Amino acid sequence: MHVPFVDLKKQYLAHRQEIDQALVNVFEKSIFASDETISDFEKHFTEYLDAPYCIACGNCTDALEIILRALEIQRGDEVIVPANGWLSAAEAVVLVGGTPVFADNHPDFYTIDPNQIITKITSKTKAIIPIHLYGLPADTDAIRDIAHQHNIKIIEDCAQSHGATYKGKKTGTLGDAAAFIFYPTKNLGAYGDAGAIVTHNKQLAEKCGMLANHGQRIRNQHQLLGRNSRMDTLQAAVLNVKLRYLDQWNAQRGKHAAQYMELLKDTPIELPHAPAHMLHAFHLFVVRVKNRGQVIDYLEKKGILTAIHYPVALPDMPVFSHLQTKPEDYPVARSQASELLSLPIYPELTAAAIQYVAATLKACCR
Ligand SMILES: *Cc1c(COP(=O)(O)O)cnc(C)c1O
């Protein structure tokens, strides 16, 4: 059996008529930017999240950078980011001139560890960017306590957590501002690049909106030095269709995860943990194995494609070598980088495929 890591075509074929119609509508109207299709998406997304403000933009790194700029984080400021994760958060901090400070990840949940955040707070700390990694919300109450105590901002990286909840509230509404991405393979994916900024702060929302649009609120009245970071109409049209199915797709992901867990329990394979007060969006189904290299090769020979998120802890990346971090400061992220393995998961995955992946994995795991 062949099991791809993701399969976007299955989803397209299942919703082809609606998606094709939405795209044809854009072609017929022929307004490809700044159209109401985009403001409709912003409105639908705020309703979905139960958050007051959403600003559509180009991608997640832009969203993070714009939020940091709007919060006036700059040279000399420190922002705490997880040591294991995608680099956008740390990258955006460097792009505004700030210094990313890595905090180690939690050994069981893989998200940023609040106890490690505490050890990294200094008088220069201005913000924390938790990533709701793999679809599991970060330990929000603990992070909020720290943030309140030290008067620092929380910026959520929701690139992997569309629809995930913490104590019943959607990720994206848990901090001061949030960055979303709708890259095609994410839980809510466009057919190209697209992102969004979400916040409950009106002034911050206005400033982010201006920064994403050349610093103007009214055309040709540039008040701030901004940039161009726009979502195009075609992406918004696709997202307006797909948002309606997000919860249904996430429920499918949850069902698949439960099936994997049932089939893989009582094995040496470490499975994802999700506390009862969190709803995991299972953007990725990440297991931990000791002999990862062998496992990947074996699965591939059997037609199963896997991926690694992420093979190198962020502080070990050449791009961050100037930060001179100490390897002993993030042992968890480093061990995760060598042992975590992402198995195929997507809504359209079949029960038979999951059974095949689990059986094959069991045959080669230590
Ligand atoms: C996919 C992803 C991003 C992507 O950001 P881009 O700017 O679109 O490259 C950011 N953060 C995380 C955690 C991601 O998984």
Task: Give the nearest ligand 1 atom to 195 CA.
Answer: 8
Nearest ligand 1 atom to the CA of 185 is: 1
Alpha helices in the chain (DSSP H): 8-14, 16-29, 36-49, 60-70, 88-95, 114-120, 140-150, 202-211, 233-242, 246-264, 292-301, 331-339, 351-362
Residue 128 is encoded by which pair of tokens?
């924390």
Q: How far is the CA of 12 from the centre of ligand 1 (A)?
A: 22
Query: Ligand 1 pocket check: which of 68, 84, 86 to mutate, most ligand atoms within 8 Å of Cβ?
Result: 86
Q: Is the CB of 91 under 6 A from ligand 1?
A: no
Report d(CA 169, CA 163) in Å as an integer: 9
The predicted pLDDT at position 34 comes to 87
Residue 61 Cα to ligand 1 midpoint, Å, equals: 7
Atom of ligand 1 nearest to the CA of 160: 15
Laid out side by side, the sheet with 165-166 consists of 169-170, 165-166, 278-279
CA distances from 277 to 164, 169, 274 (A): 11, 10, 8
Does residue 109 line the site of ligand 1, with CB under 6 A? no
Residue 183 CB–ligand 1 contact under 6 Å: yes
Q: Does residue 160 have its Cβ closer than 6 Å to ligand 1? A: yes
Chain segment 197-234, per-residue pLDDT in tens: 999 999 999 999 999 999 998 888 899 999 999 999 99
Take atom 4 of ligand 1 and give the residue whose Cα is closest.
Answer: 60
| 3-state secondary structure string across 155-202 | EEECCCCCCCEECCEECCCCCCEEEEECCCCCCCCCCCCCEEEEECCH
pLDDT at 366: 65
Q: CB neighbours of 226 closer than 8 A, spacing ≥ 6?
A: 210, 211, 212, 213, 214, 215, 216
Which pLDDT does position 67 carry in this prediction? 98
Closest-CA residue, ligand 1 atom 6, reads 60
Mean pLDDT for back-to-back runs of 10 residues, the chain (366 residues): 97 98 98 94 98 97 97 98 97 98 97 98 98 98 98 98 98 98 98 98 98 92 93 98 98 98 96 97 97 97 98 96 91 96 98 98 88
Q: For residue 187, which of 220, 224, 162 has the smallest C-alpha distance?
A: 162
**What are phi and psi for residue 328, nearest 5 degrees?**
-70, -5
What is the residue-averaged pLDDT of the chain? 97
Ligand 1 lined by 59 (C-beta under 6 Å): yes
Q: What is the pLDDT of residue 365?
A: 84
